[in-house]
A and B are shown apart, each in its own frame.
Chain A
């Protein structure tokens, strides 16, 4: 029973952090351009001009 006093708030807190992070990510526009994010990884920062 004593363990529960610690563990339940811990479990709830971790869930709440995940939820808060999802809300933040959505407000930050991280789900706006999912295909773009996949493409951006390929951009070479040193190269001046991308080729299609």
Chain B
């Protein structure tokens, strides 16, 4: 499928792989474009797209620098980011392991069932013996292989003196297998291999679904990460430049910071003047003009023109690092959260084990002998084994997370849904959360002649204001004018010829609080004002949250008047001028009052609050650290996914509780049969499958929960 590209065979061994994230790929055309056009670039041997993860893997000549590869991808019209080391690789290995175990369990279940059905339908004598032995030969290796995830987890829990869902499962499976083997060896009547393998298969289905849901949403979040200043272009004394990662920058190094780039270290401007977007760090939406000698901080974005910055504080001494420390401490409480399945098993497991023990003692007292008593006790364990219980939680959560993906919300994992369902108040950040966090032009000042020219110019620039302008004009269906002699002068603007008229999109000659550009056509000049608009559906979202019984408030680091204006517009209580530590204190205050706050924020300054909140949601444009701290990430311009998240999470927990009732209900019906010694493998198999199917079916109702 790749375009053929001849590459000297001798060089093959020296090729290296690089991976990039291209969040903008949306269709087959994008895949074809990337895979066909990139290998035409000198030095690139092969391009392979992973559409699900929005990634491109390139095999290329080691001489080719990362910057050149990025340029090559950008030349095709895609936004691209370097892919940092993937911290999620371990998750991937877990998922593969679970899928393999599920496949093996499925194979074992089908074959053992085949044999069991013959036994149930009346095979007797030697045939029955043979089938029991065959079942044992298939089931024992399958259980040894597929049961490992449960055995390992149960062993871990027991060693730490705890119990979880996997303890009763492991005990049930192991005892059932051991008893069945004994029965087979001594020519007994019943063997429960089918129940043991079927139990493992159903449970593994639940686990694999859970892992796949995490994999899918993480891939989405992964593709959004990596926008922040994790590296910088450093100017050496001999004038050469090199890319240095943030942790290797030393004080005194001179960084070249391009327009639109994030700073990787704190420093002092030594050349050039520009404006800095501090919103990630402080929540302040106003751009801060910086000139010679001005102090700038890591994590802020240089908006206007390239500057040179001498690093003064690096790595752990930057203001970002301080926020990271706050986040670490604030995040501790969340790791102590106990999942609902484990809470259920804490009461369920002892009850089941006591019941089995009582059955054994009871039948011993009744005088049926230890063999018969043990048989009945194990039948009780098998019939109460939480097969449907194991599916009750993951099945509901997988359906819910798929529903939310369609709404534009990626939930990281199951505990996030459980915690989202418990929130009782919401705290919003302003800049980047209630607002879009990117400059949008006011197009009303442009006439029909200026629009195509503005678009033609803007498309040739990587400046954030130009990008915003191009996006807005394209959305209006404007066709770009064809321009010649296009040149971009850093700090001034972009200049070109339209026919014989000189045109330019330049820095505005006036200055103001909000960013502005100026379009020049011949002698005519028009100002374009940029603003960071509010999301369209804030009122609707607040209304839905209110309907769910949640109280809302605005917490912002921005100026008082800007915050109060927004607060008044939507009838929100607001606090302004808050530092990251202030927000953290407010959140901790709420928690100490017994509230379960949901924090919605994007900036680094929200990081500690996001980590401390009972649940947290960040927009897709948020800083990496905030997305890592959040439980869910919403994509796009609408805020409504925040309300949908809470709504679906609450519906999910309702379904989970119903599932528990259904699953336990089945057990309650079956346990008397088991206690009476009437449970045959056939009854166990039927009870197990029906309760599992009902639980899965009930969970599927969540598909419409976001309506």
Contacts and interface: CB of A to CB of B under 8 A. Distances in A.
Interface of A: 1, 4, 8, 11-12, 15-16, 18-19, 22-23, 26, 31-36, 39-45, 47-52
A47 B3 CA distance: 12
B33 A15 contact: no
Interface in B652-702: none
B151 interface: no
A9 B26 CA distance: 48
Contacts of B99: 26, 31
A48 B111 CA distance: 50
User: By DSSP majority rule, is chain B's interface helix, strand, loop, or mixed?
Assistant: helix
Interface residues of B, number: 30
16 contacts: A1-B127, A8-B134, A15-B111, A33-B53, A35-B52, A39-B51, A40-B28, A41-B28, A44-B32, A49-B36, A50-B27, A50-B28, A50-B29, A50-B30, A50-B36, A52-B30
A29 to B, nearest CB: 9
A44 to B, nearest CB: 8
B535 to A, nearest CB: 26
Contacts of A12: 111, 138
Interface in B11-62: 26-33, 36-37, 49-53
Given A36-B50, A40-B28, A50-B28, A26 B96 contact: yes
B100 interface: yes
B30 A40 contact: no
B1 interface: yes
Contacts of B155: none
Interface in B316-369: none
B140 interface: no
B103 interface: yes
Interface string B107-129: 10011001000000000001100
B531 interface: no
Nearest to A22: B103
The 8 closest A-B pairs by CB, nearest first: A36-B51, A50-B29, A50-B32, A42-B28, A39-B28, A35-B52, A43-B32, A19-B107
A40 B36 CA distance: 13
Nearest to B110: A15
Nearest to A32: B50
A35 B127 CA distance: 48
A36 B49 contact: yes
B29 A36 contact: no
B104 interface: yes
Given A12-B111, A15-B110, A32 B28 contact: no
B110 A43 contact: no
Nearest to A16: B107
Nearest to B32: A50
Contacts of A19: 103-104, 107
Nearest to A36: B51
Contacts of A44: 32
Contacts of B32: 43-44, 47, 49-50
A37 to B, nearest CB: 8
Contact of B100 (A15, A23, A33, A43): A23
Contacts of B1: 40, 43, 45
Contact of A52 (B27, B36, B103, B107): B27
A47 B31 CA distance: 13
A2 to B, nearest CB: 12
A13 B52 CA distance: 34
A47 B1 CA distance: 12
B652 to A, nearest CB: 24
Given A12-B138, A22-B103, A26-B100, A40 B114 contact: no
Contacts of A18: 107
A3 to B, nearest CB: 11
Contacts of B26: 52
Interface of B: 1, 26-33, 36-37, 49-53, 96, 99-100, 103-104, 107, 110-111, 114, 126-127, 130, 134, 138
Contact of B31 (A11, A16, A50): A50
Contacts of B52: 32-36
B423 to A, nearest CB: 31
Nearest to A42: B28
Nearest to B53: A33
A40 B31 contact: yes
A20 to B, nearest CB: 10
A16 B100 CA distance: 13
Contact of A33 (B29, B51, B103, B138): B51
Contacts of B36: 48-50
B216 to A, nearest CB: 9
Contacts of A51: 29
A44 B33 CA distance: 11
Nearest to A51: B29
A47 to B, nearest CB: 8
Given A33-B50, A36-B51, A36-B52, A23 B28 contact: no
Contacts of A39: 27-28, 31, 51
A1 B50 CA distance: 52
Contacts of A16: 107
A34 B114 CA distance: 32
Contacts of B127: 1, 4
A49 B515 CA distance: 37
A51 B33 CA distance: 8
B107 A36 contact: no
Contacts of A43: 1, 28-29, 31-32
A40 B1 CA distance: 9
Contacts of B30: 50, 52
A42 B33 CA distance: 13
A11 B53 CA distance: 38
Contact of B114 (A11, A22, A26, A36): A11
A6 B107 CA distance: 19
A51 B53 CA distance: 21
A36 B36 CA distance: 15
A4 B27 CA distance: 52
Contacts of B96: 26
Contacts of B49: 33, 36
Contacts of A11: 111, 114
Nearest to B48: A33
Given A15-B110, A15-B111, A41-B28, 7 more contacts: A26-B100, A33-B49, A40-B51, A48-B36, A50-B30, A52-B27, A52-B29
Nearest to A44: B32
A31 to B, nearest CB: 8
A33 to B, nearest CB: 5
A35 B1 CA distance: 17
